[in-house]
Amino acid sequence: MTASGLAAIGAYAPRLRIDAAEFEAAWGRFDAAGIDEKAVPDADEDAVTMGVEAARRALTAADASGTDVAHLAFATTTPPMAEEDLAARLCSILNVPEDAKTQTMTGSTHAGAQALDATMDGGPFGEDIGLVIIGDCPRGDPDSEVEHAAGAGSVALVVDDDGPGTVLERASHTEAYPGTRFRTGGDDRTTGLGVTQYDRDAFTTTLDSAADRLDVPMETVDAAAVQSPDGKLPYRATGALGVDAGTIAAADTVSTLGDTGAASAFLGAATAFADDPERVLIAAYGSGASATLFVVTGPVPVETALDGTVSLSYAEYLRRRGEITRDEPEGGGAYVSVPSWHRTIPQRHRLVAGRCSACGALNFPPTGACTDCHERTSDFEAVELPGTGTVEAVTTIEQGGAPPEFVAQQSKSGQFDSAIVALDSPSGEQTVSVPAQVLDTTAEVTIGTPVVLTTRRIYTQEGVIRYGFKAQVASQRR
Amino acid sequence: MRDAYLIGAGQTPFGSMPEESYRSLFDHAVSEAIDSVDHGIDTDAIDEAVVGSLGVGGRQLGLSGPAATEHAGLHGVPSVRVENACAASGYAVRQAVQAVKSGMADVALAGGVEVMTDMSSDVTKYWLGVSGETEWERLTGTTFSGVYAQMASAYLREYGASEEHLSMVAVKNHRNGAKNPKAHLGFECSLEDAVDAPVVADPLNLYHCCPTSDGAAVALVASEDVVEQYTDDPVRVAGVGAASDRVGLFQRDSYTAISASKKAADTAYDRAGVGPDDLDFAEVHDCFTIAELLAYEDLGFCDRGEAPQLLEAGTTDADGAMPVNLSGGLKSKGHPIGATGAGQIVEAFKQLTGSAADRQLPAPKYGLTHNVGGSGGSAVVHILEREAAR
């Protein structure tokens, strides 16, 4: 039994971009063929936060919510924590029921396809849905081809029983090809041996063998979203897949986002479905090697935020990548224990405020005496806030002025705005104030500026990433 | 309850003194306070000691009260450390007054000490801002100057005040502090300097922020039953008020007022039976210059939103109708966190006993001190009165 409906796709890429010319100027050459510019994650972004951005958009496009999810699969080659079930945090942030089945796929760029495959097999879902979240931000050594190509992006697919989109057919192939693209244990940089013909063979052989198992004639495919570690390799698969270069180009994202790893082929599909094609081929490949092909018929509703808005110089890029920046200073930081952080997860992940039973005022966090009437009520009615609000007070924490817990972030991303935001109640009739960073923006942030909250890394202490909310100027939300 | 009197007060210079320890600083302040007592006092006469300190740098977080008072020769005296951030020693003085008024002590010593300038910049980063709300405020990346900057942003917007008003406070306080040999930054500054300084946290620039300082200050409080043994020129503690509020700015009713200050002042005025118009001077908590503007309003020197006009009119200048921060305030005199509140008492004592040298007012009768903890989570106000010579 399976679920083969595709209800929607959401896609996201960081707003930061670097042009290939910046690499060319720095290195005298640019080693990632076919890439014009690429997306760069900010200091507070990772595969999880990007995944949340895509998932929220996919749920919106499917007119669904986190509470509908019965099966959640997360895929990335760059898990922010090497060990720990990150699907648990994604479920918490997205308000997915605690009895949902979860899976985390990693280890190769094929992980995204494995996640979709497994989620389809988790069906049928009846009234519920399956949610596949793929976020990735590969990196390599600064002078490597992998790093020159490395981009960032995320995509989420809502799987259900009846579409409107349908996965018509799927096929896989696995065959041992060691040493094409790999990362040794404990390392955060992907590399390869650079045996050119062998690497290409691994790619084309697995795709070709998987394609042989499909019945759908390839000439009926309008766009082929092919795994793109750079802008050239996917076009070497024309013969293996039986599609022409134009069909592959119709699903191109690598030229503007760079290598998006496990999200690569699916970001291509998100882009292709925006043009309302009838039939799209998704061709995902991972080193090792394995490949899965999906033939999907449209229409598939798509909501994307893939455009870049901020261009980085190469020096700024090195800062964002943490190549020339400092970590938290040794003097220590303000300490909030993991258990006490855990107690506030509903607030940090889902903006759960509380309505005072005595006076009706909203409290955030909803603990202790009411901040409005000061009654010792412990009886707060949980109110999940929609995440819209208005800046009430604001300052800029200048470069070098951040508290120790934020020194690493500031070293990478520079000065940041710190505001008090009046968050709207669901009815819009009340507000409750919270402190929040305002994401780097080209718009000036002043008192009265409307904002929307999003999920980002707040800080890391004792190796544990603390995810929470930050504000984004509403007019800047893509 | 019986009356309490200030019989002595003294302080170290405020500044950067890497050769001193928290104990040696406290000891110097005790010596100055003892030396300031008209008829002299023996340490054996001290029944109670309260030491204010945030504990910056860690040093002696546990038992720092006894560690300081034993070193200063107050052997065996009950001693306790009070922690209320920047209001620590304002509260220490209040507790000494309570001990004396209640009859538990005839003479109580209240002081404060902080060492802030001998640490690495990394360690300093940690200790600055430990008095904001930690879990939500600091750990979203907000600094201590950032919180006051948020208040300044709201104030400037609400009342149409300008950043120049923030700079005018700095110019005034530096002008006063230049006459105070104990001041950390005892130099005058031009309005141009105070306007053009580098931005710390918009709209606050460097001249809108007080320095971090080392220092100690001590006051001696005696009961009406014994005061005549020590002085013929008594300074009565006419009224004390204190109040608390939410530690995090985001949970307060207003960002443009410090309600704990208002409540503390109302209580102190009520107990003293005087109002703002009766005061001859005030030492207010100007950790950031916006805080001095808020203080004018919270303490009733003017109506809401009128602090800039009060400042422009020169009312709070040294020669104005209500001189504020004759010592230079935190801005120029310095801000050794735990010593600041007691340091304000030292200035008030000097003014009221005619020992303020170059910055002496002609025969003041009432002075007010205003000490705030954090960004307004706590506040304490003392009103001191010079009684007719006995």
DSSP string over A78-108: S-SSSSS-HHHHHHHHHT--TT-EEEEE-SS
Let me know: does A391 contact A382? Beta carbons within 8 Å.
no
Let me know: does A470 contact A389? Beta carbons within 8 Å.
no
Alpha carbon dihedral A429, A444, A394, B298, in 10-degree steps, equals -90
First to last CA, chain B: 21
Give the model's pLDDT for residue B93: 98
State the Cα–Cα distance between residues A272 and A226, nearest whole angstrom: 11
State the Cα–Cα distance between residues B226 and A436, nearest whole angstrom: 55
Structure tokens at A473: 């100027």
Let me know: does A74 contact A43? Beta carbons within 8 Å.
no
Structure tokens at A340: 């006490």
- pLDDT band, residue B271 (cuts 50/70/90): very high
Looking at the predicted structure, is the pLDDT value of residue B58 above 80? yes
Q: Which of B152, B211, B205, B203 is nearest to B332 (CA)?
A: B211
Q: Give me the residue spans of the domains in chain B.
A: 4-120+211-386
Give the residue ranges of DSSP H helices in chain B. 22-35, 64-71, 88-102, 121-127, 144-159, 163-177, 191-196, 227-230, 259-272, 289-298, 307-312, 329-333, 340-352
Give the residue ranges of DSSP H helices in A6-103. 20-27, 47-61, 86-94
State the Cα–Cα distance between residues B236 and A440, nearest whole angstrom: 55
Chain B residues with CB-CB distance to A401 below 8 A: 143, 145-146, 200-201
State the Cα–Cα distance between residues B356 and B328, nearest whole angstrom: 12
Structure tokens at B251: 């949970």
- pLDDT band, residue B121 (cuts 50/70/90): confident
Chain A residues with CB-CB distance to B146 below 8 A: 395, 397, 401, 418
- Give the Å distances, CA to CA, from A461 to A327, A334, A341: 11, 10, 11
Give the residue-averaged pLDDT of A87-108.
Answer: 98
Looking at the predicted structure, is the pLDDT value of residue B241 above 90? yes
Looking at the predicted structure, is the pLDDT value of residue A177 above 70? yes
Residue B288 DSSP class: B
Looking at the predicted structure, is the pLDDT value of residue B131 above 90? no
Residue A477 DSSP class: -
A386: Cα within 13 Å, side-chain hemisphere? 12
Residue B386 neighbours by CB under 8 Å, 6+ apart: B233, B234, B235, B236, B352, B353, B364, B365, B366
Give the residue-averaged pLDDT of B291-313.
Answer: 98
pLDDT above 70 covers what percent of chain B?
Answer: 99
3-state secondary structure of A163: coil
Q: Which of A267, A392, A333 is nearest to A13 (CA)?
A: A267
Residue in B86, B189, B209, B287 annotated catalytic: B86
Task: Tell which wins on pLDDT, A391 or B387.
Answer: A391
Which residue in the block uniquely carries the two structure tokens 């998006």? A260
pTM score over 0.80: yes
Structure tokens at B4: 């309490």
Whether residue A330 and residue B122 make contact (CB cut-off 8 A), yes or no, is yes
Length of chain A: 478
Give the model's pLDDT for residue B132: 86
- pLDDT band, residue B390 (cuts 50/70/90): low
State the Cα–Cα distance between residues B83 and B95, nearest whole angstrom: 12
Give the model's pLDDT for residue B33: 98
Residue in B28, B184, B335, B370 annotated catalytic: B335
Give the model's pLDDT for residue A1: 74
Chain A residues with CB-CB distance to B143 below 8 A: 397, 401-403, 418
Give the residue-averaged pLDDT of A26-32.
Answer: 96
Neighbouring CB atoms inside 10 A of A430's CB total: 17
Taking the Cβ of residue B206 and every Cβ of chain A, the question of whether any pair is shorter than 8 Å is answered with no
Give the residue-averaged pLDDT of A405-424.
Answer: 95
What is the CATH T-level fold of the domain B4-120+211-386, as seen in this structure? Answer: Peroxisomal Thiolase; Chain A, domain 1 (3.40.47)
Taking the Cβ of residue B58 and every Cβ of chain A, the question of whether any pair is shorter than 8 Å is answered with no
Neighbouring CB atoms inside 10 A of A309's CB total: 12
Q: Which of B115, B120, B35, B109 is nearest to B78 (CA)?
A: B109
Residue B197 DSSP class: S
pLDDT above 90 covers what percent of chain B?
Answer: 94
Handedness of CA B173, B179, B182, B184 (dihedral sign): positive
A271: Cα within 13 Å, side-chain hemisphere? 28
Give the model's pLDDT for residue A8: 98
Give the model's pLDDT for residue B127: 87
* Interior/surface letters B71-96, b for 16+ CB within 10 angstroms, e for the rest: ebebeebbbebbbbbbbbbbbbbbbb
Whether residue A395 and residue B120 make contact (CB cut-off 8 A), yes or no, is no
Chain A residues with CB-CB distance to B142 below 8 A: 397, 403, 418, 435
Q: Has B86 been annotated as catalytic?
A: yes
Whether residue B141 and residue A333 make contact (CB cut-off 8 A), yes or no, is no
Q: Which of A286, A278, A299 is nearest to A222 (CA)?
A: A278
Give the model's pLDDT for residue A328: 82
State the Cα–Cα distance between residues A106 and A183, nearest whole angstrom: 12
Give per-residue pLDDT as tens, A424-435: 999 999 999 999
Give the model's pLDDT for residue A441: 67
State the Cα–Cα distance between residues A231 and A33, nearest whole angstrom: 5
Structure tokens at A18: 């670097």
Residue A375 neighbours by CB under 8 Å, 6+ apart: A356, A358, A359, A369
Give the residue-averaged pLDDT of A285-304.
Answer: 97
Phi-psi sector, A266: left (phi>0), alpha (psi -120 to 50), beta: alpha
Give the model's pLDDT for residue B122: 84
- pLDDT band, residue A230 (cuts 50/70/90): very high
| Least confident interval from A103-107, A245-249, B84-88, B120-124 | B120-124
Tell me how far apart the 2 most distant CA atoms of chain A are, in Å: 73
Q: Which of A145, A77, A157 is nearest to A110 (CA)?
A: A77
Looking at the predicted structure, is the pLDDT value of residue A169 above 80? yes
Give the model's pLDDT for residue B388: 76
A311 beta partners: A17
Whether residue B199 and residue A340 make contact (CB cut-off 8 A), yes or no, is no
Phi, psi of A286 (to 5 degrees): -135, 145
State the Cα–Cα distance between residues B368 and B352, nearest whole angstrom: 11
Query: What structural domains does chain A harbor?
Result: 5-320 (3.40.47.10), 338-351+386-476 (2.40.50), 355-383 (no CATH)
Predicted complex: ipTM over 0.90: yes
Looking at the predicted structure, is the pLDDT value of residue A443 above 80? no
User: Using N-to-C axis directions, what is the helix angle for B289-298 and B163-177, rounded to 10°?
Assistant: 90
Neighbouring CB atoms inside 10 A of A346's CB total: 17
Whether residue B126 and residue A332 make contact (CB cut-off 8 A), yes or no, is yes
Alpha carbon dihedral B32, B38, B43, B49, in 10-degree steps, equals -70
Structure tokens at A440: 């780097």
Chain A residues with CB-CB distance to B136 below 8 A: 365, 434-435
State the Cα–Cα distance between residues A165 and A427, nearest whole angstrom: 34
pLDDT above 90 covers what percent of chain A?
Answer: 93
Looking at the predicted structure, is the pLDDT value of residue B23 above 90? yes
Amino acid at B59: R
Residue B167 neighbours by CB under 8 Å, 6+ apart: B191, B194, B195, B205, B207, B208, B289
Taking the Cβ of residue B140 and every Cβ of chain A, the question of whether any pair is shorter than 8 Å is answered with yes
Distance between B297 CA and the closest CA of chain A, angstroms: 20
